[in-house]
Amino acid sequence: MEEREERQEPATGSHFVGKKEDLIKAKRSFRTVEGRDILVLYHQEIFYALDFHSYHAGGPLQNGDIEEFDGKLCIVCPKHKFKISLAKGESIYRATNPYDPVPTPRWYSKGIKQRIHTVTEI
């Protein structure tokens, strides 16, 4: 089995990833920047960019639904349904604390898990 080399350093500098109108029309675009696969998203008139493969087990995020959870716009990885915020790459999940007198589901954060990238419009 071939292993992907895990890149620890973020891509450096700025990279042209496409014309604004083309990225808007496509809504989801795949790019490779310095060997790193990136998903560029245009959603609700905002650009986002994050690593193309889910931090969990490499699921292809370009096929994920985008939904709001706990006030955060997230992409739902199609492989295991992990929810990753578009703005920060935060992974969130819903659970109950069994020690609560009345266990009530609420959202928790696993922290920033998915690498995101800055999109600059020029």
Residue matched to tokens 């706990």:
70
Q: How far apart are CA 114 and CA 95, in angstroms?
A: 21
Closer by beta carbon to ligand FES, 6 or else 45: 6
- CA-based nearest residue to 61, from 16, 23, 101, 30: 30
Residues 6 or more apart in contact with residue 87 via CB below 8 angstroms? 48, 72, 73, 116
Least Cβ distance, residue 101 to ligand FES (angstroms): 32
Site for ligand FES in 72-91 (CB under 6 A): 77, 79-80, 82
Closer by beta carbon to ligand FES, 24 or else 57: 57
Q: Candidates 24, 26, 46, 57: give the one binding ligand FES (CB under 6 A).
A: 57
Under rule CB under 6 A, residue 54 binds ligand FES: yes
Q: Interface residues with ligand FES (CB under 6 A)?
A: 54, 56-59, 77, 79-80, 82
